[in-house]
Amino acid sequence: MSYLVLARKWRPKKFSEMVGQEHVLRALGNALDSGKIHHAFLFTGTRGVGKTTIARILAKSLNCETGVSSNPCGVCSACREIDEGRFIDLLEVDAASRTKVDDTRELLDNVQYAPTRARYKVYLIDEVHMLSNHSFNALLKTLEEPPPHVKFLLATTDPQKLPMTVLSRCLQFSLKRLSAALIAERMVFIAQAEGLRFEPAALGLVARAADGSMRDGLSLLDQLIAFGGDELSEANARAMLGTIDRGRIFTILEALRRSDGAAMLAQVAELDRDAPDYDRALIELAAVLQRVAVSQLVPESAADEGEFDAQAVASLAAALKPEDVQLYYQIALGGRRDLMLAPDPRLGFEMTLLRMLAFQPGDRVQISPSASPTVTAAPGKAPTQPAPKSAGAAVQADAVIDAATWPAVVDAAQLSGMVRQFALNCVPTSFDQTLLRLTLDAAAADRRTQQLEDRLVQGLGKFLGRPIRIAFESNDASLMTPARQRVQNELDKAERAAQSFEQDPAVRALRERFGASVDAASIKPIG
């Protein structure tokens, strides 16, 4: 006897055997049991979620010899013939292969005739959105005024392509994508019934790879059976699917926790030997980080369900700060978006990990000439002892800070980014070695935040080798800050360049000979 694939062998034959879609089953069950049955049903949803399966069970419910109900007997001739696909009064049509209007008219020519032996003549049209406009017009009249012995069951993955005139004449049921947990639960049941040896983690991997489709999941399960020789192990599942060993992901995250960039990149090199899917690797990385976040913030919901190494998750949850985990998760998601733009998938994956390393809150990673990473704690409170000169900017305990020296102080303190821009929009008014008073440009007042102030205090405190305080004076709209002075200098340079250009003999000759004019905005100073 030929082998029957799992998706067909274990196709539900009753509503009670369906997995998920309770909202649809409840509505259909109530309609069947009450006898209030619409003449046209439209089932929508992505592939493999049960559209045609529900339609066939509905056809059985309508034509079961024991009577119309939500629980067909499954043993009468009508039920058995529908299950076997040979019931004469169930007309199944694949609209993708019968798109012409002549096909539709031929199909509907016999609508007015009573069923051969059943209670209802049932038309099951799959992928109905593939019909042409003329075919829809031919179908529309019958949908609007169908004979009492006819029921239409329509299925589609793309309801947006159906005319509103058709949609308005059908009861529409939207089937949902199935969760990985539901698919895995069904696979466990099938594997046990088939007498297969399996690891729950293997079925969990296949269920996630099914992407919400039970049919795809069972097809992958068939593939795993062929791949592993009836032994459904996690290793075989990962090899078949090309997924990443989570142990390696945990090792990478452990190196990240230690800020050990060399060890982290060494793990990527090991990973690269298996020619992995790096997008999948980032998915696995994000999945582990999500589980760590749950363990930290909602520990009572952190059951591992056999998918994660509970001890490794607990270790990372204890070692990482919750805000770090959230940052890493966001970087992993951004890395997936950037992966297709990277010069090479491995480089994109490495860059994502390096971004996590570079943006570690509270830590600054420094790479020594030997490429061995070391971590220096960033200042939280200003240090009481002068920092060693090799650690960054030289300590200037006796530095003079006033309006004249302020730009040089900002440079010497190695202030960068937003902190630097914020500082250059200020002018010192006084400094008594412990308290620095700054006047802030009115135009930059909306950029002032507590975080910027704290980082400015830390940077200057490190530069001076002692804690200081900063007080901000009232804003001055006419304040000549270093930033405003720089803008003014650029304007002066541009004006001098324009004047020099205008006075150039060659330019003057062109103007006099050809009546040319000078576009002042196009003149750029050099140097």
pLDDT in the model for residue 137: 84
Sign, CA torsion 479/485/486/489:
positive
What's residue 477's pLDDT? 60
> Is residue 389 scored above 60 in pLDDT?
no
Give the span between the Cα atoms of 37 and 58, in whole angstroms: 11
Q: 246-366 has which fold?
A: Zinc Finger, Delta Prime; domain 3 (1.20.272)
The pair of structure tokens assigned to 207 is 């269920």
Assess whether pLDDT exceeds 50 at residue 379.
no
The pLDDT assigned to 244 comes to 77
Q: CATH says 180-241 is which class?
A: mainly alpha
Residue 363 has pLDDT above 60, yes or no: no
Q: Which of 54-68, 379-393, 398-412 ranks highest by mean pLDDT?
A: 54-68
Contacts of 108 (CB under 8 A, 6+ apart): 138, 139, 142
**In this predicted model, what pLDDT tens digit does every residue of 9-26 receive, in sequence order?**
999 999 999 998 999 999
Residue 291 CA: distances (Å) to CA of 41, 254, 335, 441, 466:
41, 15, 19, 46, 42
Strand-strand pairing, 231-232 and 197-198: parallel
| Closest to 141 (Cα-Cα) out of 116, 112, 184 | 112
Confidence band, pLDDT 50/70/90 cuts, at residue 1:
low
> Pick the residue with more confidence: 523 or 507?
507
Check residue 394 and give its pLDDT. 67
Is residue 50 a contact partner of residue 218, using CB atoms and an 8 Å limit? Answer: no
Per-residue pLDDT band for 517 (boundaries 50, 70, 90) equals: confident
Residue 134 is predicted with a pLDDT of 83
Q: Are strands 435-441 and 426-431 parallel, antiparallel or unpaired?
A: antiparallel
Give how far Cα 21 sits from Cα of 16, 111, 264, 319, Å.
11, 31, 44, 41
Select the more confidently predicted residue: 349 or 480: 349
pLDDT band at 154 (very low <50, low <70, confident <90, very high): very high
Both tokens assigned to 202 = 């293997």
* Whole-number pLDDT of residue 376: 40
Q: What percent of the chain has pLDDT over 90?
A: 40
Which of the residue ranges 11-25, 176-190, 224-238, 440-454 would you say has the lowest mean pLDDT?
A: 440-454
Averaged pLDDT, 186-211: 91
In sequence order, which ranges of 341-447 are alpha helices (DSSP H)? 345-358, 406-412, 417-424
Tell me which H or E stretch contains 386: none
Mean pLDDT of the chain: 84
Residue 481 near residue 429 (C-beta atoms within 8 A):
no
Give dist(CA 139, CA 331) in Å, integer. Answer: 51
In the structure, what pLDDT confidence band is assigned to residue 311 with cuts at 50, 70 and 90?
confident
- Give the pLDDT of residue 513: 73
DSSP string for 119-174: SSEEEEEETGGGS-HHHHHHHHHHHHS--TTEEEEEEES-GGGS-HHHHTTSEEEE
CB 320 within 8 A of CB 292: yes
Cβ contacts of 405 within 8 Å, gap of 6 or more: 399
Q: Can you tell me the distance from the alpha carbon of 252 to that of 274, in angstroms, rounded to the nearest whole number?
A: 16
Mark residue 232 as left, alpha or beta (left: phi above 0; alpha: psi -120 to 50; beta: remaining): beta
- The pLDDT value recorded for residue 386 is 41
Listed in sequence order, the DSSP H helices in 132-277 are 133-144, 164-167, 180-193, 200-209, 214-228, 234-241, 246-257, 261-272
Q: Tell whether the model's pLDDT for residue 77 goes beyond 60.
A: yes
Tokens of 450: 């507590």
The token duo for 191 is 């594997």
The predicted structure's pLDDT at residue 208? 87
Structure tokens at 469: 């305080």
Tell me what pLDDT residue 220 has: 93
Kindly report, residue by residue over 489-513, the tens digit of the pLDDT: 778 887 878 777 777 787 777 777 7
Per-residue confidence (pLDDT) for residue 502, from 0 to 100: 78
Give the DSSP letter of residue 410: H
The share of the chain scoring above pLDDT 70, in percent, equals 88
User: Does the predicted model carry a pTM greater than 0.85?
Assistant: no
Of how many residues is the chain composed? Answer: 527
Tell me phi and psi for residue 469, to 5 degrees: -120, 155
| Tokens at 374, concatenated | 């070391």
The pLDDT value recorded for residue 307 is 65
Mean pLDDT confidence for 153-175: 92
Q: So where are the chain's domains?
A: 6-174, 180-241, 246-366, 392-479, 484-522
pLDDT, tens digit (0-9, with 9 covering 90-100), for 326-358: 999 999 999 999 998 999 999 999 999 999 998
Cβ 524 vs Cβ 497: under 8 Å: yes
| Fold agreement (6-174, 180-241) | no
User: Which architecture, in CATH terms, is 392-479?
Assistant: 2-Layer Sandwich (3.30)
Measured over the CA atoms of residue 30, residue 32, residue 34 and residue 39, the dihedral's sign is positive
Residue 373 has pLDDT above 60, yes or no: no
Residue found by looking up tokens 């017009």 in the block: 137
- How far separated are the first and last CA of the chain, in Å rounded? 86
Cα angle vertex 128, ends 125, 129, to 5°? 175
**pLDDT tens track for 105-118:** 777 778 888 888 88
- Specify the residue for token string 């090991």: 270
In CATH, what number does 6-174 get?
3.40.50.300
